[in-house]
Amino acid sequence: LAMAPPPRTYSRAELRQRCAQGSCLVLRGRRLYDVTGFVPLHPGGQQLLRQRAGSDVSAALDGPPHRHSDNARRWLEQYYVGDLRAEPGPLLERERPVDTINQTTNHWMDPRCKTVDPDKDLVDWHRPLLWQVGQLGEKYDEWVHQPVDRPIRLFHSDIIESFSKTAWYIVIVVWIPVVLYVSWLCYTSLGQGNTRLFSSLTTEYSIPVHKYCFPFLFILGMGLWSFVEYVIHRFVFHMNPPASNYFLITLHFLLHGQHHKSPFDRSRLVFPPVPASLVAAFFCCCLLLILPWAVGLSVFAGGLFGYVTYDMTHYYLHYGSPKKGSYLYGLKTYHVKHHFEHQKLGSGVTTRIWGNVCLPERPKG
């Protein structure tokens, strides 16, 4: 086997030049990391990480406004580019040697698609992962909660694979017209004055539903969606599948484990339209079974809009850079902790709303 080339070394002058050209560098001991591409993904946004670039990594990783886990330190290794060249003169504090035990040895890799280390990785990244993860057994839980920065392929078939991922804007293009059409349909139907609640139980005491009720039904649907998403996220997406159950491990990875393994895979941050349409049809049928047609569709329209809002918020929390101190800034910090610190809790986007109302989560540490 051919030996990997030695890591490149950089002088202080080269570092200053790269920074002047817009690169964002982090120095840990003499190990140098180029995190330019990761800056927009950092919960502190571009301003925070650029302020810390070039400093001791302990400050960059452990300082306010949040504390990083060991996963974050392992994550940093994906951006290793070389070492600071030894030069005459006293060492700076940030240049002193550090413990490099268990650090990645194959440093020459694409930061978004690192090559597989056969001695450490439990799956073959050159083949679809969905049919491999079930064989990990008791190792699955630890493996799936060690995030990597690379795309995931689930299926052998290119056609099925294309249905399992999508760009963020497709959610808006597909579902917003549906929300507008269903909303108009419901509003005009309610405007005819023929819709009444409980008419199947008692005609005398049934309650008329006017078109002015549509906004309230729409908002009710949004709230109902957020609660359903919270329950599903916490109790289904974050179930702990039995190590001996190949099917449940595979199902968990398909539903949500893939997102925790590769949290910055752009094509898998929102729900693809084809499987989403099946889920939407199920919830729509459930509503129409228990509510009058116009009322049920009004709630469904609100729920569908709530889903679109949720998916767009989730995407922004991964790739946006909200202003420090804003609500979205705090929400992004909260959500990134979910991926790198309190991963096994259902700390999704809606948890900050419902988690404090019912069934509160209490992360350790």
Residues 322-333 pLDDT 10s: 888 888 888 888
d(CA 348, CA 351): 5
Q: Which two tokens stand for residue 346?
A: 């259902």
Same domain, 54 and 172: no
Phi, psi of 298 (to 5 degrees): -65, -45
Looking at the domain assignment, is residue 148 inside a domain?
A: no
Residue 92 belongs to a domain: no
- Whether the link from the prior residue into 65 is cis, omega within 30° of 0, is yes
Among residues 34, 57, 84, the one where a domain terminates is: 84
Residue 145 marked ligand-binding: no
Tell me the pLDDT tens digit for each residue of 243-296: 999 999 999 999 999 998 888 888 999 999 999 999 999 999 999 998 889 999
**Residue 126 is assigned to a structural domain of this protein:** no
Check the annotation: does 256 bind a ligand. Answer: yes
Does residue 166 sit in the same domain as residue 73? Answer: no
Q: Are residues 218 and 319 in the same domain?
A: yes
228 and 352 both lie in a single domain: yes
| Whether 351 contacts 234, CB under 8 Å | yes
Q: Are residues 53 and 185 in the same domain?
A: no
Q: Please check whether residue 64 lies inside any domain of the structure.
A: yes
Residue showing tokens 């690379």: 150
Inter-residue long-range contacts of 327-332, CB under 8 Å, 24+ positions, other chains counted = 329/43, 329/45, 332/43
Residue 210 assigned as binding residue: no
Q: What angle do CA 200, 203, 208 make, to 5 degrees?
A: 90
Give the residue numbers spanning the domain of 21.
9-84
Is 174 domain-assigned? yes
Phi then psi for residue 169, to 5 deg, are -70, -20
Q: Are residues 66 and 162 in the same domain?
A: no
Spell 192-206 as b/e; 16+ CB within 10 A means b: eeebeeeeeeeeeee
Whole-angstrom Cα distance, residue 158 to residue 164? 10
Q: Is 156 annotated as a binding residue?
A: no
Residue 150, domain member (yes or no): no
Q: Is residue 142 part of a domain?
A: no
* Residues 170 and 51 placed together within one structural domain of the fold: no
Task: Name the domain boundary from 84, 113, 137.
Answer: 84
175 and 289 belong to one structural domain: yes
Residues 188, 305 share a domain? yes
Judgement on whether residues 204 and 310 belong to the same structural domain of the protein: yes
pLDDT surpasses 60 at 96: no
User: Annotation-wise, does 339 bind a ligand?
Assistant: yes
Let me know: does 196 contact 207? Beta carbons within 8 Å: yes
Residue 66 assigned ligand-binding role: no
Domain count, the chain: 2
Last residue of a domain, one of 84, 105, 136: 84
Of 142, 99, 168, residue with least CA distance to 309: 168
Q: What angle do CA 22, 15, 110 make, to 5 degrees?
A: 70
Residue 101 has pLDDT above 60, yes or no: no
In terms of average pLDDT, the best of 117-121, 199-203, 245-249 is 245-249
pTM of the model: 0.68
pLDDT at 95 over 50: no
Q: Is residue 135 part of a domain?
A: no
Q: Does residue 356 register a pLDDT over 70?
A: no
Same domain for 72 and 173? Answer: no
Q: What is the CATH number of the domain that holds 38?
A: 3.10.120.10
42 in a labelled binding site: yes
| Run of H or E including 9 | strand 9-10
Residue 342 in marked binding region:
no
Cβ pair 248, 242 in contact under 8 A? yes
* pLDDT value for 270: 94
Q: Percentage of the chain surpassing pLDDT 70?
A: 70
Identify whether residues 210 and 339 lie together within a single domain. yes
